[in-house]
Amino acid sequence: MGFLKRIFRSSAPEEQAIVGSAEGFERLTDEELQTHMGIDRYDSFYLTNAIRPSYDLQIVPKQGFRHDEYRDDANGFVVPVLMAAATRKGLMDLFLDLLDPLGPVVDVVLESSHQAGSRDQDLYREHIDIPVLKSTLLDFEDLLLNDGCTGIAVLNPRMRQEVQFDEHKMLIAYGQPLTQFENILIAADVYPDPKLRFITEAEHIHCSSEKYLDQFESLKSRLGMDANWR
């Protein structure tokens, strides 16, 4: 799901291990770090516990979405992308609503970076009914919202469309058309902003814990992914 992560502050509380790639946080005192970690609201935008922006707020979290594209130069194709950030309240429901355009049967990818310093690992599950998937994911809402080392992608290969709820708790839709996803976001008061910047585009840190690692293993088992590393 992105970049290399490592635990950089051994004095972080056991229930909230801090992982990241932002060296600027290493210069903070414990008091400065804990104060920053305790701030979860910027204006009307509430963060989950999974991630925090840079200490000097290079980018202030904000609700909205913008268009982008994924370009595969090696294979010569471009995929339209819709990237969104939404405040904590209603975020899980919004993610589940974004799955509806994918159809009644989908594939699922779980993405993990729990092992500090190791490459990210993906698990794949084919052909799961959307109602079954949604029910399962609701049982693991705490993990999906608040673990900075867990991400999930839901896709329909036949439609060539995918919705991702990544480690940063961003919502990302790939493929075309994207109109249905736009309408769902706007209905949830998440509006287009072509100048929107995400906290992933500057220094930031992720948070996880042993509790979330255990929950990840349980979700993996519920989805039948125990031996399906991709």
- How much is the CA Rg of the chain, to the nearest whole Å? 17
Q: Is 17 exposed, middle or buried (0-12, 13-18, 19+ CB in 10 A)?
A: buried
Q: What is the pLDDT of residues 22-74, one digit of tens each?
A: 567 777 888 888 889 899 999 999 999 999 999 899 999 999 999 999 888 78
Q: What is the pLDDT of residues 91-140, one digit of tens each?
A: 999 999 999 999 999 999 999 988 754 445 689 999 999 999 999 999 99
Percent of the chain at pLDDT > 90 equals: 69
Best CA proximity match to 141, nearest among 207, 107, 91: 91
Q: Where are the beta strands (DSSP E) in the chain?
A: 6-7, 17-20, 41-42, 45-46, 51-53, 64-72, 77-85, 105-112, 121-129, 150-156, 161-165, 171-174, 204-208
DSSP string for 176-195: S--HHHHHHHHHTT--B-TT
Tell me the C-alpha distance between 183 and 138, whole Å: 23
Is the pLDDT confidence value at 148 over 60?
yes
Tell me the C-alpha distance between 186 and 191, whole Å: 5
pLDDT mean across residues, the chain: 87
Is the pLDDT confidence value at 213 over 60?
yes
Q: What is the mean pLDDT of residues 194-220?
A: 93
> How high is the pLDDT of residue 30?
84
| Cα→Cα distances 172→160, 205, 219, 222, Å | 14, 20, 21, 24
Domain boundaries, the chain: 6-60+199-209, 64-196+212-222
Residues sharing a CB contact under 8 Å with residue 27, sequence separation 6 or more, in sequence order: none
Strand order in the sheet with 6-7: 6-7, 17-20, 204-208, 51-53
